[in-house]
Structure formats: C-alpha cells, structure tokens
Amino acid sequence: LVIHPASTTHSQLTEEQQLATGVTPDLIRFSVGIEDLEDILADVDQALDKIE
C-alpha cells in the first residue's frame, strides 16, 4: 500500500496539525509486509523507471 497521508488519512487535520504529527506535503507512506527488502526496492526502482 502506498498513500499520500496529507490528502488521505490526515486530510481532516489542518496543515499545522499535520506538520505537528510529522505529515509533510511531500510525504509518501509505504506499508509493506514481510517481503524481502531487496524485492521491495526492486519493485520501487521498476515503478520509478516507468514514470521518468
């Protein structure tokens, strides 16, 4: 799961409240399971290559 907390889970908070909780406008949260770190990094690299 990849989300942008400022516009989803924390959208009900003011900008000041978001910043106080560590949610910045450019924060992207990755929620990963028990996959191997190298597999996750390879997936992220592949996705970034496609959007460049």
Over the stretch 18-52, which tens digit does the pLDDT of each residue have?
A: 999 999 999 999 988 899 999 999 999 999 999 98
* Cα→Cα distances 22→6, 10, 27, Å: 10, 11, 9
pLDDT of residue 46: 96
Q: pTM for this structure?
A: 0.71
Number of domains the chain contains: 1
Which structural domain, as residue segments, surrounds residue 13?
2-51
pLDDT of residue 22: 98
pLDDT of residue 51: 92
Identify which of 5, 2, 51, 48 has the alpha carbon closest to the alpha carbon of residue 27: 5
Residue 10 tokens read as 């924390």
pLDDT at 1 over 90: no
DSSP 1-52: -EE-GGGTTTTTS-HHHHHHTT--TT--EE---S--HHHHHHHHHHHHHHH-
